[in-house]
């Protein structure tokens, strides 16, 4: 099978020919239709985060995939060949950027009938990070919550899904992005947009109950815009996140978001999709062999929504 693989940290992924993998007893094999790029893919490949997120090498990168099951392990009862599924492969695995991938059956989710394979590849990692950051860390009530929510990085992979999830809950959502993405994030549910490229853009901004930072991990610039009793969460946590998290006297909760991929949360995203409350914005498509170009585009920091790899056709 065709697969993109890098031999070691720091090396570019190259197209290689690998044997089609056999599923273990609790795994399914998926004929991959599409994958999507997440910044963690190229961060891990660089080796710069190997101490916290090591990867076996050689490595077929990629955690998100959609496709059709073509073989099931002997103990798998929940799926059969022909099922349309998507998955965020657990961190110990990767392997999405190949024509076939074996994945743990208990992380795979059958697609809603109306979900296309591109959306299915776009949603898992970024969508669950958006969902868990809002629901579990910031404690937004998905069943109804009218509080003021700020999403920083509202046009990115995680942010554009966070905007929609918060808006679907009933929140008053404000997005931070550059002016070129203002119309997009409004169309996703932002009542207002702060264009961070404009001087004085924070003048007169009313305080927020919840702030979800999908760009950086330092709450300092935003603390004055968070109400007492409010909260800040970052999916890019750094030393500043943990320093502020330790300050129990500020009256403002600061917390990191660390994704725990799981099938029930993926199914929650699928339900929102089926109800018409969540869609994936797709920026660009690349072929499988173009993975390095797709990573370079992701590294630019300018992606609007998700970057898709067309594995079956590319």
List contacts with ligand NAP (CB under 6 A). 38-40, 125-126, 129, 152-153, 155-159, 176-178, 181, 196, 214-215, 235-236, 257-259, 298, 301-304
Q: What one-character DSSP code corresponds to residue 252?
A: S
Q: What one-character DSSP code corresponds to residue 220?
A: G
Q: Which is nearer to ligand NAP, 102 or 166 (CB)?
A: 166
Q: Which is nearer to ligand NAP, 5 or 298 (CB)?
A: 298
Q: Which residue is nearest to ligand NAP (CB)?
A: 156
Q: What one-character DSSP code corresponds to residue 312?
A: T
Q: Are 7 and 45 in contact (CB under 8 A)?
A: no
State in angstroms the smallest separation of the CB of 255 from ligand NAP.
Answer: 11
Q: How far is CA 125 from CA 14, 39, 62, 94, 277, in A?
A: 23, 11, 10, 12, 18
State in angstroms the smallest separation of the CB of 58 from ligand NAP.
Answer: 22
Q: Tell me the longest C-alpha to C-alpha distance in the chain.
A: 61
What does the alpha-carbon distance between residue 263 and residue 258 come to, in Å, rounded to a whole number? 16
Q: Which is nearer to ligand NAP, 291 or 303 (CB)?
A: 303
State in angstroms the smallest separation of the CB of 203 from ligand NAP.
Answer: 17
What does the alpha-carbon distance between residue 240 and residue 71 come to, in Å, rounded to a whole number? 46
State in angstroms the smallest separation of the CB of 268 from ligand NAP.
Answer: 16
State in angstroms the smallest separation of the CB of 79 from ligand NAP.
Answer: 26
Closest C-alpha among 17, 8, 53, 13 to residue 35: 13
Q: Which is nearer to ligand NAP, 79 or 297 (CB)?
A: 297
My answer on whether omega of the bond before 311 falls inside 30° of 0, hence cis, is no
Query: How do beta strands 109-110 and 100-104 pair?
Result: unpaired
Q: Which is nearer to ligand NAP, 155 or 268 (CB)?
A: 155
Q: Which is nearer to ligand NAP, 41 or 172 (CB)?
A: 41
State in angstroms the smallest separation of the CB of 128 from ligand NAP.
Answer: 8
């Amino acid at each position: 099978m065709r697969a993109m693989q890098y031999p070691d940290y720091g090396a570019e992924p190259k197209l290689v020919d690998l044997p089609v993998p056999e599923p273990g007893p609790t795994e399914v094999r998926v004929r991959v239709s599409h994958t999507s790029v997440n910044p963690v893919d190229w961060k891990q490949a660089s080796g710069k985060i190997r101490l916290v997120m090591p990867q076996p090498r050689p490595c077929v990168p990629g955690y998100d995939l959609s496709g059709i099951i073509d073989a099931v392990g002997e103990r798998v009862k929940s799926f059969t060949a022909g099922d349309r599924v998507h998955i965020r492969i657990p961190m110990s695995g990767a392997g999405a950027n190949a024509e076939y991938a074996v994945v743990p059956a208990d992380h795979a989710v059958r697609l809603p009938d109306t979900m296309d394979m591109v959306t299915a590849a776009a949603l898992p990692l970024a969508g669950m990070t958006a969902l868990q950051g809002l629901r579990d860390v910031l404690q937004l009530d998905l069943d109804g919550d009218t509080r003021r929510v700020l999403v920083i990085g509202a046009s990115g992979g995680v942010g554009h899904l966070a905007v929609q999830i918060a808006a679907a809950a009933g929140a008053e959502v404000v997005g931070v992005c550059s002016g070129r993405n203002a119309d997009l994030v409004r169309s996703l549910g932002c009542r207002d947009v702060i264009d961070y490229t404009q001087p004085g853009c924070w003048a007169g901004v009313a305080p927020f109950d919840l702030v979800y930072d999908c760009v950086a991990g330092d709450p300092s610039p935003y603390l004055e815009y968070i109400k007492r009793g409010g909260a800040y969460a970052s999916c890019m946590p750094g030393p500043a996140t943990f320093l502020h998290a330790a300050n129990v006297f500020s009256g403002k909760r600061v917390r990191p978001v660390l994704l725990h991929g799981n099938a029930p949360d993926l199914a929650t995203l699928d339900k929102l999709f089926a109800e018409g409350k969540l869609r994936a914005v797709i920026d660009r498509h690349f072929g499988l062999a173009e993975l390095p170009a797709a990573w370079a585009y992701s590294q630019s920091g300018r992606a609007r929504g998700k970057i898709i790899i067309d594995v079956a056709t590319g």
